[in-house]
Amino acid sequence: MTQTLPPSPAPGPTTDTDTTLLVEDLVVEVLTEHGWATVVDGVSFRVARGETLGIVGESGSGKSVTCLSIAGLMPARQTRVRATTLRVLDHDLTALTPKQMDDIRGPRIAMIFQEPMTSLNPAFTVGDQIAEVLRRHEGLSRRAARERAIALLDRVGVPSPERRYRQYPFEFSGGMRQRVMIAIALACHPDVIIADEPTTALDVTVQAQILELLRELQREHGMSVIFITHDLGVVADVCDRVLVMYAGQIVEGAPITELFEQPRHPYMEGLLAAMPRMDQPAGELASIPGHPPRVGAMPDGCRFHPRCRYADDRCTGGGSPELVQLGPTHSTRCLRHPELTLRGTP
Amino acid sequence: MSPVDTDKGAANGTAPDATALLQVRDLVVSFPGRRRPFRAAPPPLRAVDGVSFDLHEGETLGLVGESGCGKSTTARGVMRLIEPAEGSVRLQGRELLGLPPKQLRAARRDVQMVFQDPYSSLDPSMLIRESIGEPLDVHLQLGRQEKAERVGELLRRVGLPPEYMMRYPHEFSGGQRQRLTIARAIAADPKILVLDEAVSALDVSTQNQVIGLLEELSAAIGLTYLFIAHDLSVVRHISDRVAVMYLGQIVEHGDAARVFDSPTHPYTEALLSAVPVPSPRVQRSRERIVLSGDPPDPSRVPSGCRFHTRCPYVMDLCRTEVPQPTRAHGSGEVACHLHTSGPTLAGASVRSLGAARRQRVPA
What's the confidence (pLDDT) of residue A239?
Answer: 96
Residue B171: burial class (beta carbons within 10 Å; 0-12, 13-18, 19+): exposed
- Residues of chain A positioned with their CB less than 8 A from the CB of B209: 287
What's the confidence (pLDDT) of residue A8?
Answer: 38
- Residues of chain B positioned with their CB less than 8 A from the CB of A277: 233, 236, 277-279
Mean pLDDT of the A10-36 span: 79
In the stretch 185-244 of chain A, residues with CB closer than 8 A to chain B read: 203-209, 211-212, 230-237
Q: Give pLDDT tens digits for A96-131.
A: 888 999 999 988 999 998 876 778 899 999 999 999
Q: Residue B3: pLDDT above 50?
A: no
Q: Which uninterrupted H or E stretch holds A87? A: strand A85-88
What's the confidence (pLDDT) of residue B2?
Answer: 40
In the stretch 75-104 of chain A, residues with CB closer than 8 A to chain B read: none
Domain boundaries, chain A: 116-189
**Nearest residue on chain B to A276, judged by CA atoms?**
B233
Mean pLDDT of the A290-297 span: 84
* Identity of the amino acid at A109: I
- Residues of chain A positioned with their CB less than 8 A from the CB of B288: 208
Q: Give pLDDT tens digits for A10-22.
A: 444 444 568 999 9
What's the confidence (pLDDT) of residue A95?
Answer: 87
Asked if B188 contacts B135 with a C-beta cutoff of 8 angstroms, the reply is: yes
Q: Which of A157, A236, A272 sits opposite B283 (nearest CB)?
A: A236
Q: Give pLDDT tens digits for B297-313.
A: 888 889 999 999 999 99
Q: What are residue A41's phi and psi, to 5 degrees?
A: -125, 90
pLDDT above 70 covers a percentage of chain A that reads: 94
Mean pLDDT of the A189-211 span: 90
Please state, rounded to an integer, the average pLDDT across all residues of chain B.
88
What's the confidence (pLDDT) of residue B357?
Answer: 77
Asked if B264 contacts B334 with a C-beta cutoff of 8 angstroms, the reply is: yes
The band of B361, judged by pLDDT with boundaries at 50, 70 and 90, is low
- Three-class SS of residue A147? helix
Please compute, for residue B161, the number of CA atoms within 13 A of its CA located in the half-sphere on the CB side: 5
Which whole-number Å values give the CA distances from A50 to A47, A53, A218, A256, B245, in the listed order?
9, 10, 7, 15, 39
Q: Angle between the B128-139 and B144-157 helix axes, to the nearest 10 degrees?
A: 110
The band of B360, judged by pLDDT with boundaries at 50, 70 and 90, is low
**Nearest residue on chain B to A346, judged by CA atoms?**
B279
Angle at the Cα of B11 from the Cα atoms of B9 and B13, rounded to 5 degrees: 90
Contact state of B279 with A346 under an 8 Å Cβ cutoff: yes
Asked if B164 contacts B84 with a C-beta cutoff of 8 angstroms, the reply is: no
Q: Which of B211, B277, B290 sits opposite A208 (nearest CB)?
A: B290
Mean pLDDT of the A135-158 span: 92
What's the confidence (pLDDT) of residue A17?
Answer: 63
Mean pLDDT of the A178-192 span: 91
Contact state of B276 with A176 under an 8 Å Cβ cutoff: no
The band of B18, judged by pLDDT with boundaries at 50, 70 and 90, is low
Q: Give pLDDT tens digits for A74-87.
A: 988 899 999 999 99
Q: Give pLDDT tens digits for B248-258.
A: 999 999 999 99
- Three-class SS of residue A226? strand
What's the confidence (pLDDT) of residue B226?
Answer: 97
Contact state of A279 with B212 under an 8 Å Cβ cutoff: no
**Nearest residue on chain A to B279, judged by CA atoms?**
A236
Asked if B194 contacts B75 with a C-beta cutoff of 8 angstroms, the reply is: yes
Distance from CA of B256 to the nearest CA of A (A): 9
Please state, rounded to an integer, the average pLDDT across all residues of chain A.
89
- Best-predicted range by mean pLDDT (A180-189, A332-341, B142-151): A332-341
What's the confidence (pLDDT) of residue B132?
Answer: 93
Q: Which of B230, B257, B280 sits opposite A203 (nearest CB)?
A: B230
Q: Give pLDDT tens digits for B156-207.
A: 999 999 999 999 999 888 889 999 999 999 998 999 999 999 988 888 878 8
Q: Residue B14: pLDDT above 70?
A: no
> How many residues are recorded in chain A?
346
Mutate to test the interface with A, among B218, B277, B289 (most CBs of A within 10 A): B277
Looking at the DSSP bridge assignments, the partners of residue A180 are: none
Distance from CA of A149 to the nearest CA of B (A): 21
Q: Which of A176, A332, A168, A306 is nearest to A243 (CA)?
A: A332
Q: Which of A234, A256, A270 sits opposite B276 (nearest CB)?
A: A234
What's the confidence (pLDDT) of residue A1?
Answer: 40
Check CB contact of A320 with chain B, cutoff 8 Å: no
In the stretch 100-129 of chain A, residues with CB closer than 8 A to chain B read: none
Mutate to test the interface with B, among A170, A204, A229, A277 (most CBs of B within 10 A): A204
Give the β-pairing of A52-56 and A35-48.
Answer: unpaired
Q: Residue B111: pLDDT above 70?
A: yes
Mean pLDDT of the A199-216 span: 88
Q: Which of A204, A206, A285 sits opposite B211 (nearest CB)?
A: A285
Answer yes or no: is the ipTM higher than 0.90: no
What's the confidence (pLDDT) of residue A145?
Answer: 94
Q: How many CB atoms lie within 10 A of CB B331?
A: 16
Q: Residue B82: pLDDT above 50?
A: yes
